[in-house]
C-alpha cells in the first residue's frame, strides 16, 4: 500500500541526513520515478523534505522534524524483525518490505547499530519448492478473504481425492507446511500437507467463519493411530534426532559410542520409514513384534534389488 511506503520513507529519512533516490528505490523495491512522486506527495502534506542534485546529493528531511520512536523496546523490535524477515523469505510482499524498513529505522536509534539479530529463522525454500511460495500466497489470500479452496489431495497411503475446504491456519512443523481447514467432504476439521496438494484453486465463493480452534500437531490429535514405544540402539552421531523430536527424556542410557532411546512410532510403513531414516546407525531392540515387522519391511525393500 502507498501509505505504508510513505511511512517507511519517512522513517528512513529520519535516521539518515541524506539518502540517494537510487538507494531509496532499492530499499523500498520501487522505481526512482515512484520515489520522486512520493517526495512530492510528502511535500504537499507539509513535510520539510529537500533534495540536492549532483554526485553527493540526495534526499533529506529537515532536522527540525521529529517523530517519537519509543513505542517498542529494542528487544521487542528485534523480535518483530526476526518474524518479518522469516515471513519475507516466503512471500516477499511489499508490505513486509515497508514494515521492515520502519522497524529498522526505529532500531537504529543512538547506539543501536547491529545489522543482524542474534537469532535467525531460515524459512527460505529449496529450489525444487519454489512453487510452494505461490501455494502459500493463494492460501493466505483465501484465509484473509474467507474464500473456499479446492485441490486434489494424495494422502500418505497414496489415496487420491478432491477436496473443498474452508482454510483457517497454515502451520510449519518439522520441515513441512500444513493447512488446517474444515473439509466439506469429511464434515470436520482436517490437516493437509501442502506438498501433497495439486491443482489448488481459490474459489470466488465465500464461507462463514467458524469458531475455529487450532488442531494439535503433536501426533496425538490429528493422527488417530496408536503409537508404540520402541526402544532403539542408535549411534551417538544421530542422538540429536531423538532429542529434537521427543526431548532429552527419551534418551535412556548413553554408552561410549551408542545410546538407548525410546522412539514412539505408528505400527505401519509410515512408522517404519521414521526408523529407516536412521540408516545403519539404528537397531530396533524391542518390542519383539516391531523388531520383526521392521526386519520384514527392510527385506521387502531389499527384494526390489535382489532380481538385478
Which pLDDT does position 153 carry in this prediction? 94
- The H helix count followed by the E strand count for the chain is 9, 13
- Say whether both 64 and 82 belong to one domain: yes
If asked whether residues 163 and 201 sit together in one domain, one would say yes
Q: Model-level pTM?
A: 0.55
The Cα-based distances of 166 to 153, 161, 172, 197, 216 in angstroms read: 15, 16, 19, 15, 18
Residue where one domain finishes, among candidates 159, 176, 206: 206
Stretch 217-235: mean pLDDT: 74
**Lowest-confidence pick of 4-8, 230-234, 249-253:** 4-8
- If asked whether residues 10 and 28 sit together in one domain, one would say yes
Write the CA distances from 225 to 147, 222, 233, 265, integer angstroms: 32, 9, 24, 10
Q: Are residues 114 and 133 in the same domain?
A: no
Q: Are residues 8 and 110 part of one domain? A: yes
pLDDT, residue 187, reads 92
Domain boundary among 50, 85, 118: 118
Angle ∠(207,86,6) on CA atoms, nearest 5: 80
In a domain, 213, yes or no: no
Residue 220 falls inside a structural domain: no
Question: Per-residue confidence at 110, pLDDT binned at 50, 70, 90?
Answer: very low
- In tens, the pLDDT along 264-285 reads 998 888 889 999 999 999 999 9
Give me the domain span that covers residue 265. 227-303
- pLDDT surpassing 80 at residue 292: yes
Q: Is residue 273 located within the same domain as residue 249?
A: yes
Separation between Cα atoms, residue 129 and residue 138, nearest integer Å: 15
Looking at the structure, tell me whether residues 164 and 273 fall in a common domain.
Answer: no
Residues 24 and 42 in one domain: yes
Same domain, 93 and 138: no
Range scoring the smallest mean pLDDT among 67-71, 87-91, 134-138, 254-258? 67-71
* Least-confidence region, from 1-10, 32-41, 106-115, 177-186: 106-115
pLDDT score at 223: 47
The cell for 29 is 523495491
Asked whether the predicted pLDDT for residue 182 surpasses 60, the reply is yes
What pLDDT, on a 0 to 100 scale, did the predictor assign at position 21?
84
User: End of a domain among 118, 142, 176?
Assistant: 118
pLDDT tens readout for residues 141-151: 899 899 999 99
**Greater model confidence, 82 or 252:** 252
For residues 198 and 262, membership in a common domain is answered with: no
Number of domains in the chain: 3
In a domain, 196, yes or no: yes
294 and 259 in one domain?
Answer: yes
Amino acid at each position: 500500500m502507498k501509505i505504508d511506503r510513505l511511512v517507511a520513507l519517512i522513517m528512513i529519512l529520519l535516521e539518515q541526513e541524506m539518502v540517494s533516490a537510487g538507494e531509496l528505490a532499492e530499499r523500498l523495491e520501487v522505481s526512482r520515478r515512484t520515489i520522486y512522486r512520493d517526495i512530492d506527495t510528502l511535500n504537499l502534506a507539509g513535510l520539510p523534505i529537500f533534495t540536492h542534485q549532483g554526485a553527493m546529493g540526495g534526499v533529506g528531511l529537515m532536522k527540525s522534524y521529529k517523530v517519537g520512536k519509543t513505542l517498542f523496546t529494542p528487544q521487542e523490535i528485534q523480535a518483530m524483525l526476526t518474524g518479518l524477515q522469516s515471513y519475507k523469505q516466503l512471500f516477499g510482499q511489499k508490505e513486509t518490505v515497508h514494515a521492515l524498513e520502519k522497524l529498522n529505522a526505529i532500531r537504529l536509534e543512538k547506539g543501536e547499530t547491529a545489522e543482524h539479530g542474534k537469532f535467525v529463522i531460515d524459512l527460505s525454500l529449496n529450489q525444487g519448492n519454489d512453487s510452494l511460495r505461490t501455494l502459500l500466497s493463494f492460501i493466505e489470500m483465501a484465509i484473509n478473504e474467507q474464500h473456499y479452496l479446492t485441490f486434489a489431495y494424495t494422502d500418505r497411503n497414496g489415496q487420491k481425492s478432491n477436496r473443498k475446504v474452508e482454510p483457517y491456519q497454515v502451520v510449519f512443523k518439522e520441515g513441512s507446511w500444513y493447512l488446517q481447514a474444515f473439509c466439506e467432504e469429511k464434515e470436520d476439521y482436517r490437516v493437509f500437507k501442502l506438498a501433497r496438494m495439486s491443482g489448488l484453486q481459490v474459489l470466488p465463493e465465500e464461507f462463514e467463519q467458524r469458531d475455529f480452534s487450532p488442531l494439535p500437531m503433536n501426533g496425538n490429535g490429528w493422527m488417530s493411530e496408536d503409537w508404540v514405544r520402541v526402544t532403539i540402539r542408535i549411534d551417538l552421531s544421530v542422538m540429536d534426532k531423538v532429542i529434537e523430536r521427543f526431548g532429552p527424556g527419551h534418551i535412556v542410557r548413553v554408552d561410549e559410542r551408542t545410546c538407548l532411546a525410546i522412539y514412539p512410532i505408528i505400527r505401519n510403513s509410515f512408522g517404519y520409514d521414521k526408523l529407516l531414516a536412521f540408516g545403519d546407525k539404528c537397531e530396533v531392540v524391542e518390542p519383539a513384534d516391531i523388531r520383526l515387522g521392521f526386519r520384514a519391511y527392510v527385506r521387502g525393500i531389499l527384494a526390489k534389488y535382489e532380481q538385478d
